[in-house]
C-alpha cells in the first residue's frame, strides 16, 4: 500500500511538472501568437514582424510548431498556414517540418519516460482504444499511413508510440515522412494567400477538402482493412 501511494505521488508530481511547463511555454509564446494574428490582417505587418525578429524569425516559427505539437489543443493547421504565409512554400514547408518533427520527438520521449500508466491519463480513452487495436503488433506501414491520414490525432499517436516497443530510430523517419503531405498542402495555401493568388489557394484548399472528405467517408473501411493487414 505504501509503495502504491509513493508511486501515485510520483506520477502526480510528474503530471504537475508537465502542466507547469506547458503553461510556462504558452505564456512565453503568447506575445508571438498575438503578433501572428495581427500580421495576418495586414501584409505590411508581415514585413515589420520579420524585421523585428531578424535572422531569428525561422527559429521563432519552429518553436511555435514544436509548441503546438507538445500542447495538443493548439491548432496545427493555423501554424502550418502561417509558415507558407511568412516564408513561402519551400521554406515554410521546411521550417514546419522541422518543428513538427521535433515536437513529435518530444511527445515520443515523454511517452517513453512516463510509461503507460501516466500516458493513459493524458490521452482520451477513445483515442487509446483505437491505437491499442491498430498498433498491437506495431505494424510499421499502418503507423506511416496514420501519420499521413488527415484528421488522425498525430500528437497523441506520437505519445502512445513512445510507450510501444517501436525503436526511436524507426519512429523518426516515419513521423518525418508521414507529416510531409499535409504540411506541404498548408504551406502552399499560406503562400498563395500572401501572394494574393486566391484562385490557386482555392484549388489547393478544394483538393485538401476533397481528400479529407474521402478519408473521412471511408475511414471505417480503411481501419478494418488496415487491421486485417496488421493481423495477417
> What does the pLDDT look like over 195-222, one tens digit per residue?
777 677 677 667 767 766 776 677 677 6
pLDDT at 73 over 70: no
pLDDT at 48 over 80: no
Judged by DSSP in three states, 74 sits in coil
Cβ pair 150, 124 in contact under 8 A: no
Judged by DSSP in three states, 218 sits in coil
pLDDT at 7 over 80: no
Task: For residue 197, give the nearest of 210, 184, 188 by alpha carbon.
Answer: 188
The pTM of the whole model exceeds 0.95:
no
Per-residue pLDDT at 138: 46
pLDDT (average), residues 117-139: 66
Please give the residue range of the domain that contains residue 37.
Answer: 2-231
Task: For residue 19, give the nearest of 126, 99, 110 by alpha carbon.
Answer: 110
Average predicted confidence (pLDDT) for the chain:
71
pLDDT (average), residues 34-49: 55
pLDDT at 119 over 60: yes
- Beta strand ranges found along the chain (DSSP E): none
Question: Where does the pLDDT of residue 98 fall: very low under 50, low under 70, confident under 90, or very high at 90 and above?
Answer: very high
Per-residue pLDDT at 45: 60
Cβ pair 198, 134 in contact under 8 A: no
Total domains in the fold of the chain: 1
Amino acid at each position: 500500500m505504501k509503495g502504491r501511494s509513493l508511486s501515485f505521488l510520483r506520477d502526480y508530481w510528474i503530471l504537475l511538472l508537465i502542466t507547469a511547463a506547458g503553461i510556462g511555454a504558452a505564456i512565453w509564446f503568447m506575445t508571438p501568437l498575438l503578433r501572428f494574428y495581427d500580421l495576418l490582417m495586414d501584409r505590411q505587418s508581415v514585413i515589420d514582424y520579420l524585421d523585428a525578429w531578424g535572422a531569428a524569425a525561422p527559429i521563432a516559427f519552429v518553436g511555435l510548431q514544436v509548441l503546438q505539437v507538445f500542447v495538443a489543443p493548439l491548432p496545427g493547421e493555423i501554424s502550418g498556414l502561417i509558415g507558407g504565409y511568412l516564408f513561402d512554400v519551400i521554406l515554410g514547408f521546411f521550417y514546419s517540418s522541422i518543428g513538427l518533427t521535433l515536437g513529435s520527438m518530444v511527445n515520443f520521449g515523454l511517452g517513453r519516460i512516463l510509461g503507460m500508466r501516466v500516458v493513459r491519463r493524458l490521452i482520451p480513452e477513445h483515442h487509446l482504444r483505437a491505437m491499442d487495436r491498430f498498433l498491437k503488433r506495431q505494424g510499421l506501414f499502418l503507423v506511416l499511413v496514420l501519420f499521413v491520414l488527415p484528421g488522425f490525432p498525430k500528437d497523441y499517436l506520437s505519445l502512445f508510440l513512445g510507450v510501444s516497443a517501436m525503436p526511436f530510430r524507426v519512429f523518426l523517419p516515419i513521423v518525418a515522412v508521414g507529416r510531409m503531405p499535409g504540411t506541404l498542402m498548408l504551406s502552399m495555401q499560406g503562400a498563395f494567400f500572401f501572394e494574393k493568388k486566391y484562385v490557386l489557394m482555392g484549388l489547393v484548399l478544394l483538393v485538401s477538402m476533397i481528400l479529407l472528405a474521402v478519408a473521412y467517408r471511408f475511414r471505417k473501411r480503411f481501419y478494418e482493412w488496415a487491421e486485417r493487414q496488421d493481423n495477417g
